[in-house]
């Protein structure tokens, strides 16, 4: 399937530095084994794994783009903006991400309080036990604890019955602004990409507004082929890329061999008529 014009690029995944379960090195090996040519590790709000990922990728003769997935609050909802090709030592983005991570500990305590009231004790310590990076305790770590405790059979069930709006363990949170997230990425020399647009709870007018605002402030890309899109959504967001002149990205959003439906690098190629986000890095 691969050719020079269509490399196997996987530009979205997570390590133990955020809410994945594999180390950056193990991810690099898995990507290589799956035929990935161009890889980016995009941990949530964290650059701590970037040097390890880049070194491991280069040792395996894969091209590498430094990456991040920034949590953003827009119109009172959480969206994710991926930054690709950033300078991972840039102080502006390092400081911005530090502030973005800051509230996670307190949020986690409040989530645990709610779960306790719902009859599930020990969730803070339990989630922390799953967190490879205590600065980055996330809902995914709580989900793993609820599965371990037998409350749900898998994390998919957790995210239907807990930790989401209207269910026990949901704590609203103010993340970075869209403007700040895009500005940090741009200042660090990277390209900002709207992550998994098919997952947001907005109507089409609101999505249009998101694309316009994002473009106005210098956002350049959108994920078209991602682990969380259906084939129909590949079409839908391919059209959005054309309509708004966005670069198209491709990434599995891999977290864990058992939890993730889609493995590193194992997803359809970008449609030929779209401009790949990696074209700007050559
Ligand atoms: P947080 O940043 O703490 O709000 O956690 C967000 C993470 O939870 C996402 O990056 C996913 O890894 C995970 N997540 C959110 N919703 C779902 C879902 N419906 N199914 C599986 N994982 C989810
Ligand atoms: Mn995640
Ligand atoms: Mn995401
Ligand atoms: Mn992700």
**Do residues 14 and 78 share a domain?**
yes
Nearest ligand for residue 80 CA = 3
User: What spacing in Å lies between the alpha carbon of 209 and ligand 4's midpoint?
Assistant: 22
**Do residues 227 and 190 share a domain?**
yes
**Do residues 152 and 270 share a domain?**
no
Those residues whose beta carbon sits under 5 angstroms from the ion ligand 3 are: 80, 195
| Whether residue 128 has pLDDT greater than 60 | yes
User: What spacing in Å lies between the alpha carbon of 138 and ligand 1's midpoint?
Assistant: 8
Atom of ligand 1 nearest to the CA of 160: 19
Q: Is position 168 within any domain?
A: no
Atom of ligand 1 nearest to the CA of 164: 16
For tokens 């989530």, name the residue. Answer: 111
Q: How confident is the model at residue 6 (pLDDT cuts 50, 70, 90)?
A: confident
Nearest ligand for residue 195 CA = 3
Task: For CA atoms 6, 268, 205, 243, give the dihedral sign.
Answer: positive
**Do residues 202 and 72 share a domain?**
yes
Query: Which CATH number is 51's domain given?
Result: 3.20.20.140
Task: Identify whether the C-beta of residue 214 lies closer than 8 Å to the C-beta of residue 270.
Answer: no
**Do residues 51 and 184 share a domain?**
yes
Query: Of 117, 135, 161, which one is at a domain's C-terminal end?
Result: 161
Task: Tell me the residue range of the domain where 121 lies.
Answer: 104-161
pLDDT of residue 2: 43
* Residue 127 backbone zone (phi > 0: left; psi -120 to 50: alpha; other: beta): alpha
Q: Which of 46, 110, 159, 251 to mutate to test the pocket of ligand 1 (most atoms within 8 A of CB)?
A: 159
202 alpha-carbon distance from chain centroid: 19
Structure tokens at 94: 């390092």
Query: Of 161, 188, 208, which one is at a domain's C-terminal end?
Result: 161
Atom of ligand 1 nearest to the CA of 45: 2
**Do residues 213 and 253 share a domain?**
yes
For tokens 């989900």, name the residue. Answer: 143
Q: How confident is the model at residue 208 (pLDDT cuts 50, 70, 90)?
A: very high
| Rounded Cα gap, residues 85 and 187, in angstroms | 11
pLDDT of residue 93: 98
| Residue owning the nearest CA to atom 17 of ligand 1 | 159
**Do residues 37 and 110 share a domain?**
no
**Do residues 198 and 276 share a domain?**
yes
For tokens 């949530």, name the residue. Answer: 44
Convert the pLDDT of each residue in 131-187 to its tens digit: 999 999 999 999 999 999 999 999 999 999 999 999 999 999 999 999 999 999 999
**Do residues 202 and 154 share a domain?**
no
Q: Is position 236 within any domain?
A: yes
Task: Identify whether the C-beta of residue 278 lies closer than 8 Å to the C-beta of residue 38.
Answer: yes
User: What spacing in Å lies between the alpha carbon of 39 and ligand 1's midpoint?
Assistant: 21
pLDDT of residue 273: 96
Single out the residue of 219, 222, 187, 273 nearest to residue 11, CA to CA: 222
Q: Is position 167 within any domain?
A: no
**Do residues 135 and 252 share a domain?**
no
User: What spacing in Å lies between the alpha carbon of 170 and ligand 2's midpoint?
Assistant: 16
Average pLDDT over residues 249-254: 98
User: What spacing in Å lies between the alpha carbon of 52 and ligand 1's midpoint?
Assistant: 24
Name 243's Cβ contacts closer than 8 Å, sequence gap at least 6: none
How many domains is the chain built from?
Answer: 2
Query: Which CATH number is 125's domain given?
Result: 1.10.150.650
* Strand partners of residue 39: 10, 64
Task: Identify whether the C-beta of residue 184 lies closer than 8 Å to the C-beta of residue 75.
Answer: no
Q: What is the secondary structure of the chain as a DSSP string? A: ---SSS--EE--B--TTTT-SS-HHHHHHHHHHTT-SEE----BT--TTHHHHHHHHHHTT-EE--EEEEEEEETTEEEEEEEES--TT-HHHHHHHHHHHTTHHHHHHHHHHHHHHTT---HHHHHHHH-SSGGG--HHHHHHHHHHTTSSSSHHHHHHHSSSTTSTT------B-HHHHHHHHHHTT-EEEE--GGG----HHHHHHHHHHHHHTT--EEEEEETT--HHHHHHHHHHHHHHTPEEEEE--B--TTT-SS-TT-SPPPPTTSPBGGGGG-
Within 10 Å of residue 276's Cβ, how many Cβ atoms? 23
User: What spacing in Å lies between the alpha carbon of 216 and ligand 4's midpoint?
Assistant: 24
**Do residues 66 and 200 share a domain?**
yes
Q: Is position 169 within any domain?
A: no
Q: How confident is the model at residue 95 (pLDDT cuts 50, 70, 90)?
A: very high
Q: Is position 17 within any domain?
A: yes
| Whether residue 3 has pLDDT greater than 90 | no
pLDDT of residue 282: 76
**Do residues 121 and 228 share a domain?**
no
| Whether residue 199 has pLDDT greater than 90 | yes
| Ligand 1 binding residues, C-beta < 6 A | 19, 44, 71, 138-140, 155-156, 159, 255
Alpha-carbon dihedral 80, 146, 48, 192, rounded to 10 degrees? -10
Query: Of 137, 161, 185, which one is at a domain's C-terminal end?
Result: 161
Nearest ligand for residue 81 CA = 3
Q: Is position 1 within any domain?
A: no
Q: Is position 44 within any domain?
A: yes
Q: Is position 4 within any domain?
A: no
Average pLDDT over residues 6-33: 97
């Amino acid at each position: 399937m691969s050719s020079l014009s269509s490399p196997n690029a996987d530009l979205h995944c997570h390590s133990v530095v955020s809410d994945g379960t594999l180390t950056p090195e193990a991810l690099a090996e898995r990507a290589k084994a799956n035929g990935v040519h161009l890889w980016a590790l995009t941990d949530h709000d964290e650059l701590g794994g970037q040097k390890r990922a880049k070194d491991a990728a280069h040792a395996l003769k894969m091209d590498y783009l430094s990456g991040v997935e920034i949590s953003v609050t827009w119109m009172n909802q959480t969206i994710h903006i991926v930054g690709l090709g950033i300078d991972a030592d840039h102080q502006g983005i390092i400081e911005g991400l530090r502030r973005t991570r800051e509230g996670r500990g307190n949020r986690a305590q409040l989530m645990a309080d709610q779960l306790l009231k719902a009859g599930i004790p020990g969730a803070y310590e339990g989630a922390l036990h799953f967190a490879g990076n205590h600065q980055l305790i996330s809902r995914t770590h709580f989900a793993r604890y609820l599965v371990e405790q037998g409350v749900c059979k898998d994390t998919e069930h957790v995210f239907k019955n807990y930790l989401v709006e209207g269910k026990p363990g949901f704590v609203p949170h103010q993340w970075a602004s869209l403007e700040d997230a895009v500005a940090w990425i741009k200042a660090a020399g990277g390209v900002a990409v709207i992550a998994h647009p098919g997952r947001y709870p907005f109507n089409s007018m609101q999505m249009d507004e998101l694309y316009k605002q994002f473009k106005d402030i210098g956002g350049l890309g959108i994920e078209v082929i991602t682990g969380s899109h259906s084939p129909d959504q590949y079409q839908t967001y391919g059209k959005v890329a054309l309509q708004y002149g966005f670069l198209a990205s491709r990434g599995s959003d891999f977290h864990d061999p058992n939890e993730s439906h889609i493995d590193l690098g194992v997803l359809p190629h970008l449609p030929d008529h779209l401009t790949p986000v990696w074209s700007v890095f050559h």
